[in-house]
Amino acid sequence: MSEKVTILQVAERAGVSQSAVSRFFTPGASVSKKTADKVRMAAEDLGYRPNVLARAMASGRSRIIGLVVAYLENYFYPEALEKLSTALQAKGYHVLVFMASQTAGNIDQVMEEILDHQVDGIILASVAMSSDISARCQQLGVPVVLFNRAQDIEGIAAVTSDNRAGGRRVAEFLMAGGHQRIAYIAGWEGASTQRDREAAFREALSGAGRDLFARAVGNFSVEQAEQAARDMFSVPAGERPDAVFVANDHMAFAVMDVLRFELGLRIPEDVSVVGYDDVPPAAWRAYNLTTIRQRANLMVAETVRAMFEQIDTPDTASPCHVQIEAPLILRGSARIPDDWPTEG
């Protein structure tokens, strides 16, 4: 097991000082070509690579971003994680993952753990935090950005899709489609995304003088969504919804399957189904789900931007809630109004 080669060895071999070597490996350096050459050679010969940990320790910047995620079962998150990690890697940063599953205790504990790692920033994906912890991060100078969740804590960055606009759009679409009995299956009611989607959806309905015909809670869980669908649709034809907006795709798939395979309903002839997220399976032909697209690329880009704005200019940064436009993707699970504008 060969010794780890240190900066000191390189310095000796190159016949320069330790700091010279350090400078050589520092992007914004100021090293003469001569010194640079000597260092380069010595480093190559020795197979030297700077120790990131030591560098972090000495400089106070770890170039690590803590990411806490809760639901990888919702396929929006793996996608986001991949893009996030890639984007961060491109900037020389890396992602340290913290699962916030039930087993891991509450978020605040996880946050403490993250802070222990001297991360340069924290991204909370579909996770809310106490204002206590938020304050703690702020006083520690650690930037936080919420991904796909908003929170009413001032000065905390958040990026989501425009959930309200999305919810409204679905309502308009469903009404334009001539649906008379419009239902909603909610996600976890603690989620800001769920609340915004629903609020705007209902507002648009009542704005048109209509009421929600039925409502159930699926809690972003497949099992609960199935049960909700069963309960909601196991009634005489005249009393059953002719359209249902499901708070996310993941639940929508489950709902569709109950409707088609358990209850023998046709989609969209008997009932239109609309989801939210546009995860890849929504495009699979067996589902072909009409849904609101959360543009992962843009959301990630904004998240990264918000993060580095805070890292690079902690003083002038003004964290805010950015909402990415969320288009309705027309597919086959919901009747399309004749006069509905098509893209292009």
Partner DNA sequence: CTGAAAGCGCTAACAT
Partner DNA sequence: ATGTTAGCGCTTTCAG
| Residue 46 is a binding residue for its own copies (CB under 8 A) | no
CA 182 – CA 173 distance, rounded (Å): 11
Looking at residues 70 to 89 of the shown chain, list those that interact with its own copies (rule: CB under 8 A): 72-73, 75, 77-79, 81-82, 85-86, 89
Using CB distances below 5 to 8 A depending on partner kind, what does residue 99 bind out of its own copies, DNA, none? its own copies
Q: Which spans of this chain sit near DNA (rule: CB under 7 A)?
A: 4, 6-8, 15-20, 22-23, 25-26, 30-32, 34-36, 48, 50-51, 54-55, 57-61
Q: Which of 116, 154, 269, 343 binds its own copies (CB under 8 A)?
A: 116
Angle at 269 between CA 268 and CA 271, to 5 degrees: 60
Q: How far is the CB of 214 from its own copies (least distance, A)?
A: 23
The Cα 43–Cα 173 span in angstroms is: 64
Instruction: Extract the tokens encoding 133.
Output: 């912890």
Nearer to its own copies, 42 or 296 (CB): 296
Q: Out of 8, 29, 41, 54, which residue is the one contacting its own copies (CB under 8 A)?
A: 54
Task: Pick what 17 binds: DNA, its own copies, none; C-beta below 5 to 8 Å, kind-dependent.
Answer: DNA
User: In 3D, which of 166, 165, 164, 77 has the Cα closest to residue 123?
Assistant: 77
Residue 220: name the closest of 110, 325, 298, 126 by CA. Answer: 126
Question: Is 256:224 a contact under the CB 8 Å cutoff?
Answer: no
Q: What angle do CA 40, 42, 47 make, to 5 degrees?
A: 90
Q: Decide: is 48 part of the binding site for its own copies (CB under 8 A).
A: no
Q: What is the footprint of its own copies within residues 280-299 (CB under 8 A)? A: 280-281, 284-287
CB-CB neighbours of 4 under 10 Å:
10
Q: What's the first-to-final CA gap in the chain, in angstroms?
A: 62
| Beta carbons of 278 and 294 less than 8 angstroms apart | yes
By rule CB under 8 A, what count of residues binds its own copies? Answer: 55
Q: Which does 256 bind (CB under 5 to 8 A by kind): DNA, its own copies, none?
A: its own copies
Tokens 């003004």 belong to 318
Query: Could you list the residues that contact its own copies (CB under 8 A)?
Result: 1-2, 4, 49-54, 56-57, 62, 64, 72-73, 75, 77-79, 81-82, 85-86, 89-90, 94-99, 101, 103-104, 112, 115-118, 138-141, 253-254, 256-257, 260-261, 280-281, 284-287
